[in-house]
Each structure stands twice: as C-alpha cells, then as structure tokens.
Structure 1
Amino acid sequence: MRLTEPKRGSTRSVAIPASLLPVLREHLDTHADAESDGPRVHSVRAAGRRMSQTSFDGYWRDARKAAGRPTFRFHSLRHTGLTEYARQGATLADLLERGGHTDVSVALRYQHASAQRDRELTSRLNDVVVIE
C-alpha cells in the first residue's frame, strides 16, 4: 500500500507539546522502521508493512470501546486538538495554519464558546475596565 500526499498540498510541520516527546520517541523506537519514510504503524501479520485501514479501524473500535467512548471517531482527535489549541488562545490565523485549512469557516469550527472560557475572559476585563 502506497502512502500519498495530503490533499491540496497541505504538508506542513506542526509543533507538539514537549510532554508528548518521550511517548512518541518510545513508540518510534519500538515500532517504526529505521528509514525515515517507513511505516509508523505496522501490520500485526506482516512485519514491515503498513497496517491496513480495515485493521486499524478494528483496533480503533476496540480501543474506544475500552475507553468507554464507543462513538468517538478517529477524526475527533484532530477536532479535539484544534479546539484545545483555540482554547489556549490561538488566533484564527494560527488555526488556519495548524489545521492546514484555507477556508476560514472551517477553522471557526474549532473556536467553540464555552462557559469556562467566557468566565476567564470576563475576569481579565477587570484589569482594563475601571469604574471610579
């Protein structure tokens, strides 16, 4: 199975939190081929070959069931990551870049309003709104 480029030339480097590096390094050292372009997730049955989408879907289904989230889609990981990125203060331009989006309306999906975020921002207004 041949890997293909992402759609619309959206290949890019994305920074990850430093706390994830040890786990990622362990996974790559344990499971990935030494070549930089080798598979990162191997087939259980055929060493050195990329896992099929069907097999991956089965493992994902088992993992989400074990986690008590039977309807959590794999793409929801991307949505969760971009939503948390926005909650940390990412601008619309930041979200467009990180998500590889070209349409602003797509990036806006990740800027969910939340009661907690509203309270945090409102609290910051105390520093700039002064009534004497």
Structure 2
Amino acid sequence: MVEAKRIRYGSFQPEQLAREYITLMSKTGPAAPVLFLLGAAPPVRVKGLGQLELAEAVGRFLGPVLERVADVSLPSESELMARLPEVFCWISWPELDGCVREAAATYSAGHPSGDASVQRIAAFVQNAIAWHA
C-alpha cells in the first residue's frame, strides 16, 4: 500500500495511519505487507497533534479502530505494534530527489536512446519535485 503526501505541509488525519495499517493487515494474507509513505518521513504530521513518531501516530488510535473493525482474524494490538518496523517504510521528497539524481548520473543502458530516455524521466521527476516544493 502506498500513501503519498503533499510536498508542502501534508498531514495525516488522526486515525488515518491506524486505519490504513489495519486495512493492509486484513488484506495481505500470506504476502509480506508493506505500507510505503511517499514524502512523509517520521516524525509525521498529524492534524491537531503536530509531529509524532510513527509508533505514536499509529498507537494512539490503533485500539479504538480495532474495536470498531471487530475482525477476529487480525493480530492483537500489541502484535500489530510490534510489527510496525517491518511493515512501514518511507522516503522523503528530498531523499527521493537525491536518489533519482544519483541513479540518473550513474545509469547506463548501453544504448544512447535508452540513456536519453532515462535522463528525460529523471529530469521530469526532479522538475516535478522542485515545482511542488
């Protein structure tokens, strides 16, 4: 699951991360779950609460959301909290920009048209990040 946040001042609704986490965990089956936060590296902004570490942003609302869902197949609240580090991952917009720049500078397709295509895509991503920043 991917959650993309605005480049400037994107914030999560208070229960949003807990709801998304529970939704992901209820749908993954035997697959390895990943909740990827694009543009939102911890601490994350939570509306009305400021910046919180990921465990606090999820943990504050996990219990009440689990009670409303009432899905007995889900792991317990404590198990879900223990799994946070293996499920959540993130990259900030500046980190993504740096990765794209580095990859574009070192990539070689071995063919001029392939190299030019990669450079155009990298420039497009970099320009989009810069324009929205």
- TM (norm. structure 1) is 0.24
Q: Does 1 or 2 have the higher relative contact order (CA < 8 Å, sep 6+)?
A: 2
Task: Identify the structure with the greater strand proportion.
Answer: 2
Tell me which structure has the larger Cα radius of gyration. Answer: 1
- TM (norm. structure 2) is 0.24
